Amino acid sequence: MRLFGKEPVRMENSEIARVFFEIADLLELKGGDLFRVRSYRNAGMVADGLPESLKTLYEDGGEDGLKGIPGIGESTRTKIIEMLETGGCAFHRELLTEMPSGMLEILKVSGVGPKKAALIHKELGVKTIDELEKAAAEGRIQELAGFGQVSEEKILRGIKDLKSRTQVFKLSFVTPFALSFVAWLKKVPGIIDIVPAGSYRRWKETVGDLDILTTCSDARAVMDHFVKHPEVREVVSMGETKSTVVLKAGLQVDIRVLEKKAFGAALQYFTGSKAHNVAIRDRAKRMGLKISEYGVFRENGQWVAGEKEEAVYAAVGLPWIPPELREMRGEIEAAEKGALPEPLKRSDIRGDLHVHTKESDGTYTLEQMAEAAMKLGYEYMAVTDHSKAVGIARGLDEARIMAQMQAVDEFNDKLRKQKKKFTVLKSTEVDIRADGTLDHPESVLRKLDLVVASVHSGFSMSMDEMTKRVVKAIRTGLINIIGHPTGRLIGEREPYLIDLAKVMAEAKKYNTALELNSYPDRLDLNDSHCMLAKEKGVLVAISTDSHSIHHLANIEYGIHTARRGWLEKKDVLNTRPLVELMKILKKK
């Protein structure tokens, strides 16, 4: 808890969201109205997914600035303002006096929901997960009404899982498992479709589990084979159409098996998001239809659609919505108006503007990186080795970068002689020092085709200081792209504190783009930052920050993240052909 003061307390959207999620859980534990619980949960999700900072909206527009956000009504808006002004929420604190915070942890145990948790708390006085473990180990759980030996064992397993298991996984961690399961399931005779769905298909940067949709008329055969995958540690449940396993790596995998005729409806269902599904189903209902994973049906039960996903959307009067957009961030309204963004394609990307070579901390030469970029069909690639301040990466000093520029010129000459339509851009990833100055002299930076500038150290500054640091760098007028603008490493390092809205406002003035770093551990900017960039009219450069020829393919993660951020071809700097790109880079 922070103290009251003149200065408004900075509570991030994610922190406000967390309070709403906890209120929802606490109300549910208390046995409160489930629709009210849903409203708080929904408000949390809305706050979390909002591109603009609630604090900024409130500062700029007062209470009115917070109006018109779907899912945020009178009550939650008042609580948001309270949190922005005081750093906390009285209602939340009050609920916590009635229900210990340890109960929130207990809800995370697989198989324990609000009803069971509340009963355990009431009957046994259990307040923490350790007390729950003790009670279960002592056999006190199975004595309770509605519990038995099996459920008690399940709780013990659930606690062990929870303590050992990662909560979310990076998308790139899950990819090999997805490929492995697809290959594994192909061996089932008669299996037709095998498609990873869920948050994986929506390209969320982190996913909670892997969801796989299959169609086959022999469901039993699919299930039997599924649970025999060599990576399976535990079979959580196994039914006719749906099973769940946990892998040795801690990853949960859910599978659904349906008839081919339901493939489209099932894919729509299993892709989610949950909130998107609920909204689509609600819409169908209001149109006198019913949507489930089995299809679209009239009230009399007559089948309307289901074989194709597109037909499911068509049945409710909508065009097909790309999975990356199915997050309840306005996609249904946009679809209705025919205003969905045109999905960014791999072929829209003309080149990579952040690539390292052996000169700094890359593992391949300039020539090798260029060769690999050409193979991807690119027109250009910027060599962006580090500057001297990044010592561990053997950053280049003035003499070395001058030499590199010459090497690039010579290489480009060679390419031209070979009639290759490819250009290497002389560039750098210059360090933005703690004081906001750049780690190469202006004379050097002016000789380059393109300047990427990023923060590599001195992360622990106040938001104000960090914002000023980056803004000062932008104001040199020498920077074309701000690299990995928040510095986060998913699951390892929090983003440094920075006011991106302010940075973007300045970037717009100085014709500076912000990078979407496609390295799957970074994805920085993230999806909602992209939405903000688009809103502010700032171009995004989708780059890979490749340190090896193999990293260039990471562009795929960047493209899909950009799609999640509603970006189109025109919003992305490196969709421009070389000539156009050069014009933009010069406009300073």
Partner DNA sequence: GCCGTTTTCGGCCCGACTGTTTTCAGTCG
Please, which residue, 352 or 429, has the CB nearer to Zn ion? 429
Minimum CB distance to DNA, residue 334 (Å): 15
Cα distance between residue 409 and residue 423, in whole Å: 10
Task: Return the closest-CA partner of residue 545 out of 370, 398, 366, 357.
Answer: 357
Please, which residue, 265 or 473, has the CB nearer to ligand DGT? 265
* Site map 193..232 versus ligand DGT, x via CB under 6 A: -----xx----x--xxx-x---------------------
In DSSP notation, 433-462 reads -TTS-BSS-HHHHHHSSEEEEE--S-----
Q: Which residues contact 573 (CB under 8 A, 6 or more apart)?
A: 353, 481, 513, 539, 540, 541, 581, 584
35-71 residues labelled b (16+ CB within 10 A) or e (exposed)? eebebbbbbbbbbbbbbbbbbebbeeeeeeebeebeb
Phi, psi of 373 (to 5 degrees): -65, -40
- Say how many CA atoms lie within 13 Å of 271 toward its Cβ: 22
Selected from 269, 364, 380, 422, the binder of ligand DGT by CB under 6 A is: 269
Is residue 545 a contact point for Zn ion (CB under 5 A)? yes
Cα distance between residue 535 and residue 147, in whole Å: 53
Cα distance between residue 320 and residue 257, in whole Å: 23
Contact set for Zn ion, span 393-452 (CB under 5 A): 429
Is residue 327 a contact point for Mg ion (CB under 5 A)? no
Residues binding DNA (CB under 7 A): 33, 35-36, 38-40, 42-43, 70-77, 109-117, 142, 145-151, 154, 198, 209, 211, 237-244, 252, 254, 269, 274, 277-278, 281-282, 284-286, 290-294
- Spatial strand order of the sheet with 210-215 comes to 193-196, 210-215, 252-258, 242-247, 232-238
Is residue 436 a contact point for ligand DGT (CB under 6 A)? no
Selected from 274, 285, 345, 570, the binder of ligand DGT by CB under 6 A is: 274
Minimum CB distance to ligand DGT, residue 210 (Å): 8
Selected from 196, 264, 272, 295, the binder of ligand DGT by CB under 6 A is: 272
Neighbours of 418 (CB within 10 A): 8
Cα distance between residue 169 and residue 520, in whole Å: 11
Please, which residue, 284 or 559, has the CB nearer to ligand DGT? 284
Cα distance between residue 230 and residue 574, in whole Å: 42
Contact set for Mg ion, span 188-217 (CB under 5 A): 198-199, 209, 211
Residues that contact ligand DGT, how many (by CB under 6 A): 15
Residues that contact Mg ion, how many (by CB under 5 A): 5
> 232-238 and 423-431 as β-strands: parallel, antiparallel, unpaired?
unpaired
Identify what 545 binds: Mg ion, DNA, Zn ion, none; CB under 5 to 8 Å per kind: Zn ion
Identity of the residue numbered 411? F
Minimum CB distance to Mg ion, residue 199 (Å): 5
* Site map 361..390 versus ligand DGT, x via CB under 6 A: ------------------------------
Contact set for ligand DGT, span 445-504 (CB under 6 A): none
Identify what 297 binds: ligand DGT, Zn ion, Mg ion, none; CB under 5 to 8 Å per kind: none
Contact set for Mg ion, span 520-539 (CB under 5 A): none
Minimum CB distance to Zn ion, residue 545 (Å): 4
Cα distance between residue 585 and residue 445, in whole Å: 13
Cα distance between residue 104 and residue 190, in whole Å: 44
Task: Return the closest-CA partner of residue 85 out of 177, 11, 175, 166.
Answer: 11
Minimum CB distance to ligand DGT, residue 271 (Å): 6
Identity of the residue numbered 215? T
Please, which residue, 113 or 477, has the CB nearer to DNA? 113
Minimum CB distance to Zn ion, residue 480 (Å): 14
Identify what 63 binds: Mg ion, Zn ion, DNA, none; CB under 5 to 8 Å per kind: none
Minimum CB distance to Mg ion, residue 209 (Å): 4
Residue 467 near residue 499, CB atoms below 8 Å: yes
Identity of the residue numbered 529? H
Please, which residue, 262 or 390, has the CB nearer to Zn ion? 390
In DSSP notation, 518-579 reads --TTT-BS-HHHHHHHHHHT--EEEE--BSSGGGGGGHHHHHHHHHHTT--GGGBGGGS-HH
Minimum CB distance to ligand DGT, residue 312 (Å): 12
Minimum CB distance to ligand DGT, residue 53 (Å): 24
Minimum CB distance to Zn ion, residue 547 (Å): 8
Selected from 254, 331, 439, 499, the binder of Mg ion by CB under 5 A is: 254
Please, which residue, 28 or 449, has the CB nearer to ligand DGT? 28
Please give the distance of CA 366 from its chain centroid, rounded to a whole number.
32
Please give the residue ranges that form the binding site for ligand DGT (CB under 6 A): 198-199, 204, 207-209, 211, 254, 269-274, 277
